[in-house]
Amino acid sequence: MGQIVLDKVSKSFGDVEVIPPLDLTIEDGEFTVFVGPSGCGKSTLLRMIAGLEDLTSGAIAIDGEDVTEVPPSKRGLAMVFQSYALYPHMTVRKNIGFPLRMEKMDQAEIDKRVETAATSLNLMDYLDRKPGQLSGGQRQRVAIGRAIVRDPSAFLFDEPLSNLDAALRVGMRLEISEMHERMQTTMIYVTHDQVEAMTMANKIVVLQAGVIEQVGSPLDLYHKPQNVFVAGFIGSPKMNIFTGPEAEKQGAHTIGIRPEHTDVSMTEGTWKGTVGVAEHLGSDTFIHVHNTGLADMVTVRISGDISVKHGDDIYLTPQPDQIHRFDAQGLRIE
Amino acid sequence: MSDRKLPRLLQTPAVLLLLVWMLIPLGMTLYFSFIRYVLNSLRRPEWTSPSLSNWRGFGNYEFVLKSKDFVLAIQNSLFIVCSILFLTVILGILIAVLINKTFPGQGIVRVLLISPFFVMPAVNAVLWINMILDPVLGLQGIAVAGINDILDGLRQMPLLGGFSSLWPEFEPISFRATQTSAIAVIMMVTWQWTPFAVLIFMTSLQSEDQQQKEAAILDGAGTWSQFRFLTLPHLGRPIAIVVMIQAIFHLSLYAEIEIVSRGNGNKNLPYLIGEFANNNIGAASATGIFAVILANIVAIFLLRMVGKTLME
């Protein structure tokens, strides 16, 4: 069980309102990702759910029970921190067992639970080492182990992968997703990396300056961004967004077209430009096109390889059904 | 090999200087401790200049071991050093944790807390023994007299006077006496050195990882558990530093002992050395060698103890 409901939750530091009143429901068993640029309040929101930050107003309920005034340890939540926050003077075994020891659990029971958690996380060989002797990935596993043993109603992850190198990050991403599939426990995951958000989430919450811009499944957000911010934030490479005559032709103030929804030709097309940098990834090629008269730079993505040189003329044709249109307020026009 | 020669060559002057700095005094002390050497002797004028022909072997050591103050001096050295270490570490941790929280006037409080450390040891001793601990004129005398006045007043009361008369009259304690002079020294040095411990512990507390504390809060650790399992292990190394440095300094206490009681009932090894050195340089040197040995034993013992108890 682990349904979390935020009811008009807000947070101010002195006179500065970081999070204006906000409503959000996270269903039991859901993998929810809070994503947004740095400073958007996503970590603050997570810390408020954990109980590490007080609410300025509003209420938080877990499984229908108001926990606004309940101390962090009694909320039944476990958190994994960006810096791992392992206890440096304790062995891995003691680190993982610490929450149980604080609950005054029987030592035999603690040992049993720690070993179960360690087995599932491949940490059996490291139980008697100290955190300082472990690699980044292993430390992160220990931090997850410390969360698992408590058998919490929800897991909170605060940018857990941002201290790992790229290869490890992909591996840990899969492990956390796998863990969620296996345990079916509610998870809230904070990240600024939209790739992590897209690959892991059941539900993504896009935040900007403490305001929820859109809530939806990853593909919802990709296909139907509700506003210009979400359109630009979700998707990699970024959506090309421009205003002006081309947008007005479509009956909108702003239009957006994703790099992968633009057809490329060397001879004819809707828009003409010159090739800037071409990034060859093997499977795909990203071409940055200049002098289109639309925006400083338009990015297009084509499958496979194409031989273009810097300075070549190039023609772009947007796929008409993939054009996103927005009004003067930046909101989506259906 | 040749590429190592140059760095070694360049280091040589510093190493040599250090060796000379240490080895010459130590060598001279050793030499003097094995010969008869006094500053003034009418009967044996040949002993007044150091010379190998006055060789005495371990005679000086035997003389020191048999002198009536030696055992007292060793015991007293250890008692004073251990008491001061115990008190300064405990007080230091308590005060450091207390002022680590933010509160108005924090800056001023910190400066005031550190200030005893800037008082000269002799001045510190004079202030304490005359102005605070003096049984008549000091704060102690005034406080005891005040309490006795109040008790007197209670005895005069009509009904309850009977009960109050059971209370004894308080007597002020003379801290220059044989039995208490060591206590006075411990008090004044603790007052002076607690700020040092506070300073070291405070800087260490400020480098404590706050996310670890938050993780501990979520794990259900209360204030005491956080202190016991996170803060105290974190302070392990600073405590070892404070213990080491203070042990070295307090084994050589001199001014306080001289001023409080002129060594009456309260000698430590340096004071004993000072007494011998009035005339008998040979015995003073032998005592010095004992002091070096004692300092090493204490250092090793304390380091082991601190290391074991705190690094879980």
ipTM at complex level = 0.83
The token duo for B290 is 């004992």
- CB-CB under 8 Å, B225 with A85: no
Domain extent listing, chain A: 4-230, 239-333
- CB-CB under 8 Å, B234 with A146: no
Residue B254 and residue B270 in contact, taking contact as beta carbons nearer than 8 Å: yes
The token duo for B208 is 């404590």
Residue A301 CB neighbours (<10 A):
18
When pLDDT is cut at 50, 70 and 90, the band that residue B285 belongs to is: very high
Q: What is the identity of the amino acid at B14?
A: A
- Which H or E run includes A114? helix A107-120
CB pairs under 8 A between A and B: 63
List beta partners, residue A207. Answer: A212
B1 touches chain A (CB under 8 A): no
Q: What is the pLDDT of residue B68?
A: 84
Top residue of B218, B228, B237 to mutate, by most chain A CBs within 10 Å, is: B218
CATH superfamily, domain at A239-333? Nucleic acid-binding proteins (2.40.50.140)
- CB-CB under 8 Å, B211 with A102: no
- A180 to chain B, minimum CA–CA distance in Å? 21
pLDDT tens per residue across span A279-310: 888 888 899 998 887 788 889 998 877 778 88
Residue B257 and residue B269 in contact, taking contact as beta carbons nearer than 8 Å: no
Q: What is the mean pLDDT of chain B?
A: 87
- B208 to chain A, minimum CA–CA distance in Å? 11
Rounded CA separation B67/B310 (Å): 40
Please report, to the nearest 10 degrees, the dihedral formed by the alpha carbons of residues A247, A253, A259, A264 taken in order.
0
CATH dotted code for B32-123+181-310: 1.10.3720.10
- B224, closest residue in chain A (CA to CA): A102
Percent of chain B residues past pLDDT 70, beyond the cut = 96
Report yes or no on whether pTM surpasses 0.90: no
pLDDT, greater one: A2 or B161: A2
B208 touches chain A (CB under 8 A): no
**Residue B251 CB contacts under 8 Å (≥ 6 apart), including other chains:** B77, B81, B268, B269, B270, B291, B294, B295, B298
User: Which member of A82, A94, A103 has the closest CB to residue B220?
Assistant: A103
Q: What is the identity of the amino acid at B228?
A: R
Helix, strand, coil shares of chain A, percent, nearest 5, are 30, 35, 35
Looking up tokens 């430390």, which residue turns up?
Answer: A139
Rounded CA separation A151/A166 (Å): 29
- CB-CB under 8 Å, A86 with B212: yes
- B103 to chain A, minimum CA–CA distance in Å? 17
The token duo for A18 is 């970081």
pLDDT, greater one: A33 or B47: A33
User: Which member of B211, B218, B236 has the closest CB to residue A73?
Assistant: B218
Strand locations in chain A (E): 4-13, 16-26, 31-35, 57-62, 65-66, 77-80, 154-158, 186-191, 203-208, 211-216, 240-243, 254-257, 262-265, 271-280, 284-290, 298-303, 313-318, 324-326, 332-333
The token duo for A263 is 């057809």
- A157, closest residue in chain B (CA to CA): B215
pLDDT, greater one: B93 or B267: B93
Residue A200 and residue A176 in contact, taking contact as beta carbons nearer than 8 Å: yes
User: Which member of A51, A73, A83 has the closest CB to residue B219?
Assistant: A73
Topology of the domain covering A4-230: Rossmann fold (3.40.50)
> For A142-171, what is the mean pLDDT?
90
Alpha carbons within 13 angstroms on the beta-carbon side of residue A32 total 26
Helix orientation angle between B70-100 and B106-114, rounded to the nearest 10 degrees? 170
pLDDT tens per residue across span A216-275: 999 999 999 999 999 989 988 889 998 888 888 888 888 899 999 988 888 888 888 888
Helices (H), chain B: 2-33, 59-66, 70-100, 106-114, 121-126, 139-156, 161-164, 181-206, 210-218, 223-226, 232-234, 236-250, 255-261, 269-276, 281-310
- A77, closest residue in chain B (CA to CA): B218
Q: Is A190 left (phi over 0), alpha (psi -120 to 50) or beta?
A: beta
pLDDT, greater one: A109 or A250: A109
> In chain A, which residues have their Cβ closer than 8 Å to the Cβ of B235?
none
Residues composing chain B: 312
